[in-house]
Amino acid sequence: VMGCYMIMDQNRYYLKRKEIKPGDIISFSDSKDLISRLIRLRTGSPHTHSAIVIDYIEGIRQRLLIIESLGGGPVPRYLSDRVQNYQGKVWHFPLIDVTPVQRIKVCEWLWDKVLSGVKYDYFGVGTQLFRKVKTNADKLSCSEMAQMALEFANILPQAKIAYNPGELITYTTFY
């Protein structure tokens, strides 16, 4: 996909850090764990996990966090830590043609899900291995969370089905 690039490691992350903005998608690929292998087998895409970038002010420093939906539901994590510790490839998909207000709306929607204690959608992920599922904000998979945040901010059109990580990054919003 044009406009995206692989972050790969800490050195490249620090070189590209200023280009990473709130609302951008971070996609993870080529992990060797069982769930990732099943997702790859089902979708045909190497991309098996999605997260969204948010801004965070820590004291006087601006930090890049991602919100990702893991086993306990949506959680914030430092992007730099994920890049350093992920056993696979980390990709940046920058949003284009979006307003600052849309980026803020993405972040607000994500923080709402974190703070309200939304859980992970184990059933939906398992079902997606066999068929498509409807989006549901009560429980969220990683790509469903990213999709719904972008839909809330009118960056992606409203869809009735949940995208998998490989489908999410195919939208022209990112290049």
**Other C-beta atoms within 10 Å of 74: how many?**
25
Contacting residues for 12 by C-beta, under 8 A, at least 6 apart? 6
Classify the C-alpha dihedral 165-168-173-175 as positive or negative.
positive
pLDDT digits (tens, 9 = 90+) for 66-120: 999 998 999 999 999 998 888 888 989 999 899 999 999 999 999 999 999 999 9
**Other C-beta atoms within 10 Å of 96: how many?**
11
Per-residue confidence band for 3, with pLDDT thresholds at 50, 70 and 90 = low
Contacting residues for 59 by C-beta, under 8 A, at least 6 apart? none
Q: What's the whole-number mean pLDDT along residues 123-137?
A: 80
